[in-house]
Amino acid sequence: MGLSEFTEEEKKLLSPFFTNMDSHVFVLRNLPEVVKGALFSRYSRSPDSLRRILLEEFINKPEMGFKDIVCPQEDNQIIATQKAEKFYDRVLVGYGDDSVAELGGAHIAVEDISIIATKVIEDSRIGLSPLEKSTRYVLFNEKVDGKYRYYREPQIMQSAEFRDVYVKTCDMLFDVYTELIRPLQSYLVKKYPRNSDVSERAYENTIKAKTCDLLRNLLPASTLTNVGLFGNGRAFEYLLMKMSTDKLTEIRHLAEKMQFELSKVVPSFVKRVYNEHGDDFRKFVRSTESELKTIPVKIDSDQNKKHYDLELAYYDEDAIDKVVAFILYEMTGKPLSDIKESVEKMPHLQKSDIIGAYLKKRSNRRHKPGRAFENVSYTFDILANFGAFRDLQRHRILTQLKQPLTTDYGYDIPKEITDSGLADDYVVAMEKAKETFDKIREKYPKEAQYVVPLGYKIRWYFTLNLRELYHLCELRSGRQGHIDYRRIAQDMYVLVKAVHPLLVKHMNFIDLQDYDLERLDAEKRIDKKIEILKKKWND
């Protein structure tokens, strides 16, 4: 049946819930998320249109209480969600497919949590889209009721041995952060005076961003921040299950709070977190950890071996042949085994021509290489400050895993901090934080992470395919990026170029330059956009 299947009365009933009633392409609106998920799950098993399903299985069925669903009163919305959950449960019983939980989602805001907690939340890569409060555009020197805003970890705060030194150290870090803002800004203004072609707005924002970038190293990992995320039901369920197994009290409590709030909107999607399914998952995690601890492992370490902050640990030796073979696979219609044999016999120049034809028409970094590049991978062992990890963790199409945050690898001192004569205060603060960390970790190794400033180094690995490498290196080496992660992106490119120059030959939008005021060009572009909007809206 087509769009003419509905009477005028039916169209009137349906129109509030769709962006149009006269096209085969439309968006759902004014419906609870669980209803959307239930609709799509039924949609996959029905010959009817989505509009027809909503009409016949919701609106025209009194037992579904659809009037309650569309009624704006809060109490009726609760009833609506409960009735939608009942419907959803029937769908699951009938079809038994957890993937329907990916068809409904929710937005959730998680505020006043530590930076440690945001990293746990954002570690879930698939099905979630997080956005975190920025340390570049926001100063973190504010107080509430006379107190700096950092997480006061319960076990530490209940410890007579560590409570005072923890609070004193965190306060000290925020004090130094706050005290260095004005002298550092003055230094930057003097070093980088405003040119006549730069607006006052753009210049002030650029100086502020630079100041925030340089001082963020002093912020402890306990710093309170906000994160908002949108996700589908399945992603939320898995995230909350993982969080419920965490060693840190904050993370486990957050899982409970998030599950409680999400249950008000998408109850069917998150109800298994704390039922027998969730209990079984937590048992699996605990037993796996116990099993691993029973196996004795000795890691030999050569003290004379030189380790670098970024190392290419693994890569495909036959990467070029693999890329060429998969490029040809799509266009030849031949079995992969035959293509592989032919490529192995192919002269290097011909392989180069094929890869060149695949990439040379890229005119900007958003022209991503095709999927042939996903069949080659690289693993980098990275040692960089926690702030840089915090930025790069946002990349999703890769595998990454970090070691615990400690002070064992030392910390970074930004060049501008030294040049401005502010290094003494900076160093004293970082060293005092290390002393406190070392004391606390003897008894509370996990909880001690909260006192570690973002400038201390952490080790983690990235495993990513060549296609994602293009995306990461070209995006994160861009001028407006923070210098710490720009260097990592640049060095990744250099390391891969050393082993596979042909494969990164067309990474044309990598930026290997250094800049003084990273945000300046971006702010100037914003000025132009502002002028365009003023003209557009006559404002």
**Residue 76 and residue 30 share a domain:** yes
CATH (domain of 245): 3.30.70.3180
**Residue 130 and residue 91 share a domain:** no
Tell whether the model's pLDDT for residue 439 goes beyond 70.
yes
Task: Give CA–CA dist 165/162, Å, rounded.
Answer: 5
- Is there a domain that residue 396 lies in? no
Contacts of 417 (CB under 8 A, 6+ apart): 180, 184, 214, 423, 426
**Residue 166 and residue 71 share a domain:** no
- Is there a domain that residue 414 lies in? no
**Residue 244 and residue 117 share a domain:** yes
- Is there a domain that residue 402 lies in? no
**Predicted local distance difference test score (pLDDT) of residue 531:** 84
Structural domains of the chain, count: 3
Contact between 422 and 134 under an 8 Å Cβ cutoff? The reply is: no
**Residue 52 and residue 113 share a domain:** no
- Is there a domain that residue 452 lies in? no
**Residue 348 and residue 215 share a domain:** no
Phi (first) and psi of residue 229, to 5 degrees: -150, 145
Tell whether the model's pLDDT for residue 268 goes beyond 90.
no
**Residue 232 and residue 355 share a domain:** no
Contact between 135 and 212 under an 8 Å Cβ cutoff? The reply is: yes
Contact between 88 and 202 under an 8 Å Cβ cutoff? The reply is: no
Which among 103, 129, 162 is the end of a domain? 103
**Residue 93 and residue 24 share a domain:** yes
- Is there a domain that residue 221 lies in? yes
The residue with greater pLDDT, 99 or 463, is 463
- Is there a domain that residue 118 lies in? yes
**Residue 83 and residue 154 share a domain:** no
Which among 103, 127, 158 is the end of a domain? 103
**Residue 363 and residue 276 share a domain:** no
Report how far apart, in Å, the C-alpha atoms of 217 and of each of 2, 143, 363, 414 are.
Answer: 60, 19, 36, 9
pLDDT digits (tens, 9 = 90+) for 352-363: 999 999 999 999
Contact between 272 and 347 under an 8 Å Cβ cutoff? The reply is: no
Tell me what the mean pLDDT of segment 503-521 comes to: 92
The residue with greater pLDDT, 467 or 394, is 467
**Residue 90 and residue 22 share a domain:** yes
Band of the pLDDT at 1, cuts 50, 70, 90? very low
Torsion of CA 154, 157, 158, 164, to 10 degrees: 170
The three-state secondary structure class of 48 is: coil
Instruction: Quote the domain boundaries for residue 335.
Output: 317-371
pLDDT digits (tens, 9 = 90+) for 230-266: 888 889 999 999 999 999 999 999 999 999 888 887 7
**Residue 128 and residue 93 share a domain:** no
User: How many other β-carbons are positioned within 10 Å of the β-carbon of residue 212?
Assistant: 22
**Predicted local distance difference test score (pLDDT) of residue 376:** 97
Looking at residue 443, what DSSP letter applies? T
- Is there a domain that residue 482 lies in? no
- Is there a domain that residue 74 lies in? yes
Which among 356, 371, 386 is the end of a domain? 371
